[in-house]
Amino acid sequence: MIWIRNYTILKQITIIMVFLSIFLSLRWSWFTILATPEHPGAARGVLDMRGWNFENSGSIPLDGEWEFYPKAFISHEDTTSSAIHQPHYVQVPGDWRSALSKESNSSFGYGTYRLRILVDQPLNQPYTFWIQQIQASSIVEINGETAAVFGLPTEQAQTYRPRAVSYTASYTADNVKEIELLVRVANFDHPLKGGIIKSIRLGSQAAIDTERWYSIGFQLVTFIILLLHGLYAILLYVFGPRQKSFLIFFLLLVFSSLSIVSDHDSLLLLWLPLDYTWALKIKVLSYIGLSFFSLALARSFSEHVTGTRLFYSYIIVLGLYSAFLLIAPAPLIYYSIAAKVFSFLYLFPLAWFVYLIGNMFIRNQPDSVFLLLGATSIISSVVWGAFNDKIEVTNIYYPIDIIAAIIGFSAYGFKRYFRNSEENAKLNEQLRKADKLKDQFLANTSHELRTPLHAIMNIAQTVAMKEQQTMDGKSFKDMELLITISRRMSHMLDDLLDVVRLQDNLITLQKEPLLIQSVASGVIGMLQFMTNGKPVQLKIEIAESMP
């Protein structure tokens, strides 16, 4: 017994390690294939890329020290003027708060980033910059040419318009030796992080387009896969036996889909005319909805549910925070995120979810290995997502974790559904067999009862006929009642036998001409005894002309 238990524990640990090894290997391979080549970093506003072959290499991040001009929107003409003041040097990507003002601890403000890129290799296509995220509005100018405008950066919060999305800006160099990149930025929405907060990447147009469309393509594929699974789940819920797990799974997929298109490259903003604040609200709500419905799904799958009071308490807190998100402006939402409210509401249900899945797996709940696959995928996604957010390893969206999680949940849900359907089919077969046994019992019982019942009826009729003169009136009526009841019971037994024959298709109707008068006369004769002693008369009135 102890040996079997140790074998089971070893088997479970082995499965967990196999899953972790698979996901780590996939991540490592992804990072290795898409790794950024070694390159110089920007120093004091200059990035020396002379000797770098942009034609045959991938994109590179323009990280390092950039010139920054706080509280000033400068152009290419201004940089050649002696009136321009000395720049600050800030680390890109990163928050610009330290360079804006010594008195204020807020990231509200505006300014201009400047980077000079030295090149000397010919390029037969435009240089392209991939701006992944600038907080919260920006204008990109390359060698004096305005290349992209997203939002409206101004000096006042009342007139500026935020729009923080991923976009590209291209420039045809024409054998120039220096590329001057100016990025004018204004932020009056995020109080804790402003400016260029994600790496700007530079490469040939082909390299940037390939990387960017790979990222967008993976997001779209994942988005479509989630929606198709969600559609399948809601159809099973609507047209099936209304299992609550299918509805929860559908909502989980909806919020997962929203988290994909509202984050990363902000595809949702390209599809819908949402303003900055509502885009932020949808993004935050999608992540906490994803974690909540993951927990709800695990609870619906678990055969040993505990912590109901804690679960409903969490729902109340989540509802209050969701209401706050719907009515709060963007700065207050960012303050709540900084206060770790969002982190708690997002990570707490995920930790509980992992605990429930692990508990189901340890208890050997049927098919729980699929749930373990989903849980491992989610852990991998959360951990690597946080790591990549702090230290950007790759800029291309990684779809494998979320797809593996959905496949794991779908496999468990559908296997559970088909297993229940199979069990229902077996129960139905058992019911049919029991019903058949019941019919056989009724048939056998009817046959067994008919012989003694006919004997009783014949004896009662004989006694009534022979002893009628010696019986008093009450005894004779009782004897007639006994005969009447016996005849009724005989007809009931005949009906039971007919029912059994009908179910076994043993009664076949033979259509042939007949005289309705003779049939009706026979029926009246069979029913005549029921009217004995009652003020009821049965009459037959059938026209002679009736066929």
Query: Angle between the 341-362 and 368-390 helix axes, to the nearest 10 degrees?
Result: 150
Q: What is the pLDDT of residues 85-127, one digit of tens each?
A: 788 899 989 888 888 876 678 889 999 999 999 988 777 888 8
Average pLDDT over residues 400-415: 78
Report the range of poorest mean pLDDT among 22-36, 123-137, 318-332.
Answer: 22-36
* Residue 483, strand partner residues: none
Indicate the DSSP class of residue 397.
-
The pLDDT, as a whole number, for residue 114 is: 92
Our CA dihedral for 353, 355, 357, 361, rounded to 10 degrees, sits at: 180
C-alpha angle 79-81-82 in degrees, rounded to nearest 5: 115
H helix runs in 302-367, sequence order: 308-327, 330-338, 341-362
pLDDT average, residue stretch 225-235: 88
Average the pLDDT over 477-502 and give the result: 69
Give residue 363's Cα distance to chain centre.
25
* Average of per-residue pLDDT across 318-334: 93
Report pLDDT for 365: 75
Measured CA distances, 437 to 427, 445, 500, 503 (Å): 15, 12, 11, 12
pLDDT digits (tens, 9 = 90+) for 169-213: 988 877 788 899 999 999 999 998 899 988 899 988 988 988 888
Residue with tokens 């940037």: 208
Residue with tokens 């729009």: 163
pLDDT, tens only, 57-90: 888 899 999 999 998 898 888 877 766 778 889 9
Percent over 90 (pLDDT), the chain = 20
Residue 523 has pLDDT above 80, yes or no: no
Q: Are 172 and 126 in contact (CB under 8 A)?
A: yes
Question: Could you give the count of Cα atoms lying within 13 Å of 72 in the half-sphere of its Cβ?
Answer: 19
Q: What is the pLDDT of residues 31-40, one digit of tens each?
A: 777 777 788 8
pLDDT for 141 equals: 92
Over the chain, what is the mean pLDDT?
Answer: 81
pLDDT band at 4 (very low <50, low <70, confident <90, very high): low
Q: Categorize the per-residue pLDDT at 497 as very low, low, confident or very high, splitting at 50, 70 and 90.
A: low
CA distance 334 to 466: 107
Q: Which of 73-87, 265-279, 397-411, 476-490 holds the top average pLDDT?
A: 265-279
Q: Pick the closest to residue 519 from 493, 489, 542 (CA basis).
A: 542
Whether the predicted pLDDT of 6 surpasses 60: no
What are 2's two structure tokens? Answer: 């102890």
* Tokens 């020396």, located at residue: 48
**Among 3.30.470.20, 3.30.70.3450, 2.60.120.260, 1.10.10.10, what is the CATH number of 46-209?**
2.60.120.260
Residue 289 pLDDT: 92
Helices 276-301 + 341-362 axis angle, to 10: 20
Q: What radius of gyration, in Å, describes the C-alpha atoms of the chain?
A: 41
User: Scanning the structure block, which residue is given the tokens 């298709």?
Assistant: 505
CATH class assigned to 427-507: mainly alpha
Placement of tokens 């026209």 in the chain: 543
Provide the pLDDT for residue 328.
Answer: 93
